[in-house]
Amino acid sequence: AIITKVVLKIKQSGPPVGINPFTILGGLLVDIRKGSFGTSALQITDFQALASAKKVGTFNKTPVAGWYSVTLNVAGQGKVNKIGLTQFRLYFTKDDNDDLGADFMKFFSGNNATGKPVITITYKTP
């Protein structure tokens, strides 16, 4: 299969805390890892682990029906594991706005019954 498009969608879970990070921290970027960033359980070291490709897309700043989406660039499309695990790491362009206040937003996780992240892969066969 030849992957032609990859769209990742995440759903907001509740209102932002503090100031909406999409308005003060820049774009929400995506790194991709063919396989996993670390062990099967999320670890602090996963945030420093090497990505297969960095900054493969930036989420839209305005949700549609509560969903934020990003279309991966060609580098990201090429790192989707066709036979196993693919992981994504999300982070804002700026890590902090230095106002000493908490500004964050929650998104539904993959183990939630509803609202879990969605990946749509479009492909063609040679």
Say how far apart CA 70 and CA 28 lie, in whole Å.
9
- pLDDT value for 31: 97
Share of the chain above pLDDT 90, in %: 71
DSSP code, position 74: H
The 10s digit of each residue's pLDDT in 59-114 is 999 999 889 999 999 999 999 999 999 999 999 999 888 888 888 999 999 888 88
pLDDT over 80 at 42, yes or no: no
- Confidence band, pLDDT 50/70/90 cuts, at residue 47: confident
Residue 126 pLDDT class (50, 70, 90 cuts): confident
Q: What residues contact 10, with CB distance under 8 A and at least 6 apart?
A: 59, 67, 68, 69, 90, 107, 108, 117
pTM: 0.90
